[in-house]
Amino acid sequence: MTRTLNIKDALNEALRQEMEVDSRIVLMGEDIAGGAGRDDVNPEGTDCWGGVFGVTKDLLGQFGRERVVDTAIAETGFVGAAIGASLVGMRPVVEIMFADFIGTSYDQLLNHAAKLRYMYGGKVSVPIVVRTVTGAGFRAGAEHSQTLYSLYTHVPGLKVVAPSTARDAKGLMLSAIRDPNPVIFMEHKRLYLLDDDVPEEPYTIPFGVARIAREGSDVTIVGVQKMVHTALDAAKVLAEQGIEAEVIDPRTYSPLDEDTILGSVEKTGRLVIVDESHPRCSLPTDISALVADKGFASLRSPIKMVTGPHTPIPFSPPLEDAFIPDPDQIVAAVKSQFEYATT
């Protein structure tokens, strides 16, 4: 049975359902329950926050502080502890409150979680999920708004997941928890309240399989997480002008579904990649290189990237709005491709 849920609640349901059947799972992070140490103020099992975005709300009441663990503000400590706990049989799901805080935990992810299996000759695996929150548009300033997809995708040994719908969020989260490898699970803070039809029963969505969000024959637009929706908005405008865009959501960046992207470009002959991240060494440059290498013969015009600029993310609302790609930029990029094709 399906019903309407937003991404936040779909993730909450995924965590709850998997915790109910697998006692090895603990959630760890900063204020994921909230109010630790003041259980005297509220009835037992009351979480004050449930995480700053409420993704883990009410899980404390069902699972207790043993399994919904508020840590100190120390990402290296608790991410590393999750790695160690996973090595002795647990399935930790940790939350890094904002993806920007990667800096304070990155050594444990980059040099340990990602590498232990390889450098120790394949005898161990690190089944952890690191949930983290991405994205601009929240008036959160330069240190609480980044996406940083490529900083994780670059590292062999990590898997990188970034859903853009509630249905995908639930299915990918269940796959992430069951995966024997470290998975970076990126949740966009501006998508948490987006509704979708979500099956009630547990289900998984495999990694490395893109979702075609809209079918079309004239141009392929790959959207990165929230930009899937921006691309869909652009596709509506393009359709009014007689251009049918195919919009692809890769859903996972490591592994990446190369075949779906290449197959679509083979059909359309044009590729635009849209990402709110900074442009250099990014998913758009990565996907561009893929298609330039393996899909060159299909291309009828240059590949276009629509991204944020190579700047930190500003606070001032008009500046931040200008940072984030909008449908008009996508439409302009597509039209430039058609102009190229006709010259």
Partner 1 sequence: MTLARETLIDLWTRMIRIRRFEDRVAIIAANNEADGFLHTYSGQEAVAVGVLPLLNDGDAFTSTYRNHGHAIARNIPLDGLAGEVYGKANGVCRGKGGSMHVADQDFGMIGGMGIVAGGLPIATGAAYGYKYLGKDNVSAAFFGDGAVHQGAWHESLDFAALFQCPVIFVCENNLYAESTYIEYHLNAESISAMAAPYGIPAVQIDGMDVFAVRDAMEEAIERGRSGGGPSLIEAMTYRYGGQYEGDNQLYKPAKEVTWWREQDPLLRFRETVDGIIDAAELDAIDEQVQAEVTVAFDVAIAAPWPDVSELTTDVYAPLA
Give the one residue of 61, 84, 199, 312 binding partner 1; rule: CB under 8 A: 84
Residue 117 touches partner 1, criterion: CB under 8 A = yes
In the complex, minimum distance from the CB of residue 91 to partner 1, in angstroms, rounded to a whole number: 10
Token pair in block for residue 340? 């190229």
Cα 70 from Cα 340, distance rounded (Å): 55
Strands 195-199 and 159-161: unpaired
Residue 77 touches partner 1, criterion: CB under 8 A = yes
Give the one residue of 21, 41, 88, 297 binding partner 1; rule: CB under 8 A: 88
CA dihedral 215, 220, 226, 229 (to 10 degrees): -40
Give the one residue of 38, 44, 124, 236 binding partner 1; rule: CB under 8 A: 124
Only segment of 9-17, 41-49, 134-142, 156-164 that touches partner 1 (CB under 8 A): 156-164
Residue 310 φ/ψ, nearest 5 degrees? -85, 65
Residues that contact partner 1, how many (by CB under 8 A): 46
Residue number, 106 or 138, with CB nearest to partner 1: 106
In the complex, minimum distance from the CB of residue 25 to partner 1, in angstroms, rounded to a whole number: 11
Residue type, 340: Y
Distances (CA, A) of 270 to 215, 231, 285, 337, 341: 14, 14, 15, 7, 10
Q: Of 181-240, which residues contact partner 1 (CB under 8 A)? A: 181
In the complex, minimum distance from the CB of residue 139 to partner 1, in angstroms, rounded to a whole number: 30
Give the one residue of 29, 50, 157, 223 binding partner 1; rule: CB under 8 A: 157
User: Is 144 in the active site?
Assistant: yes
Query: Catalytic one among 144, 188, 229, 278?
Result: 144
Please classify residue 21 by burial: count the beta carbons closer than 10 Å to its beta carbon, then call 0-12 exposed, 13-18 middle and 19+ buried.
exposed
Coil/strand/helix, residue 171: helix
Give the one residue of 6, 12, 17, 71 binding partner 1; rule: CB under 8 A: 71
Token pair in block for residue 110? 């980059």
Cα 35 from Cα 9, distance rounded (Å): 21
The residue whose two tokens read 């299909």 is 298
Residue 70 φ/ψ, nearest 5 degrees? -80, 120
Which residues does the annotation mark as catalytic?
A: 144
Q: Which residues make up the interface to partner 1 (CB under 8 A)?
A: 24, 26, 66, 69, 71-72, 74, 76-90, 92, 104, 107-108, 111-112, 116-125, 127, 156-157, 159, 178-181
